[in-house]
Chain A
Amino acid sequence: MPHIDRRELAAIAVGGAVGAVARVWIALHLTSPDDSWPWGIFIVNISGSFALAYFATRLQERLPQSTYRRPLLGTGFCGAYTTFSTMQVEILKIAQAQRYALAIGYALVSIAAGMTVVWLATTAVRRTRVMV
């Protein structure tokens, strides 16, 4: 086992708790039928990817080193807010409804949009002058 820092774990727990509550809240308010485009998780995953790229780039390349911001905001919040498993189960449900084009489209658009917002956030942080 790697060395365990209890305060780092506490930061991840707090971020993870808030991230899960935020995702569940959005998913309960943006519901869609099993065989249609899953807007709730799509919006969560893309906004969370933008936020993670923003935090990761800013904390790593722009701000002085901090021990607990990355675990709180990155590993904890963004990691728990976004989800891979629910997306895969949604793709499966859409495929089981025999809407194969929609299933493939949802998978590929999620990846394309996710990669695009990570690139956008990374580029935006690097272009901005340091303001602590």
Chain B
Amino acid sequence: MSDWVWFAVAGAGAVGAIGRFLLDSVIAEHAGRDFPYGTFTINITGALILGILTGSALEGTLLLIMGTALIGSYTTFSTWMLESHRLAEDKDYLRSLLNLGMSLLAGFAAALVGHTIGAHT
């Protein structure tokens, strides 16, 4: 892979991470921190967008940069795990399980819907 692609991946990763941080801050400010609404919203919207990108004709380097690098960095698995663990640690088992189960199911549905939209445009 050529150098410029790696620079683009790095740039996309920086933009995705900053976008995640800013959106999470805004959501937490409005919805509170009882439940990880921010990470949930980010992950579901990201799964929808990546579904659209992979469902459409986009492929190769462009898909790598826009999809894998940008949307991949915008969404996060580790924060989802950490927040679920901290809820369970605080004995809030219901919210912990809800966060795990709803993210998994809504994320799959979002990827499926996105893929269908992408394939028809």
Q: Is the CB of A84 within 8 A of B43?
A: yes
Q: Does B76 contact A (CB under 8 A)?
A: yes
Q: Is the CB of A49 within 8 A of B115?
A: no
Interface size class of B (residues with CB under 8 A): 35 or more
Classify the secondary structure of B's interface with A.
Answer: helix
Interface residue total, chain A, C-beta cutoff 8 A: 51
Q: Is the CB of A85 within 8 A of B1?
A: no
- Name the residue of chain A whose CB is nearest to the CB of B104: A107
Which of the residues B13, B77, B104, B115 comes within 8 Å of A20, measured between beta carbons?
B13
Q: Does B68 contact A (CB under 8 A)?
A: yes
A88 to chain B, nearest CB (A): 4
- Which residues of B have CB within 8 Å of A15? 17
Q: Mark B96-121, 1 if CB is under 8 A from A, else 0.
A: 00001001100110111001000000
- A27-81, CB < 8 A from B: 27-28, 45, 48-49, 51-53, 56, 71, 75-76, 78-81
Residue ranges of B at the interface with A (Cβ–Cβ < 8 Å): 1, 6, 9-18, 20-22, 25-26, 29, 43, 46-47, 49-51, 54, 64, 67-69, 71-82, 84-85, 88-89, 100, 103-104, 107-108, 110-112, 115
Report 5 cross-chain contacts, Cβ distance below 8 Å, ordered by A residue.
Answer: A19-B17, A79-B21, A84-B43, A84-B75, A85-B107
Query: Apart from A79-B21, A91-B111, what 15 extra A-B contacts exist at CB < 8 Å?
Result: A13-B15, A15-B17, A19-B17, A20-B10, A24-B69, A45-B78, A49-B82, A52-B82, A53-B78, A84-B43, A85-B46, A85-B111, A88-B107, A115-B85, A118-B82
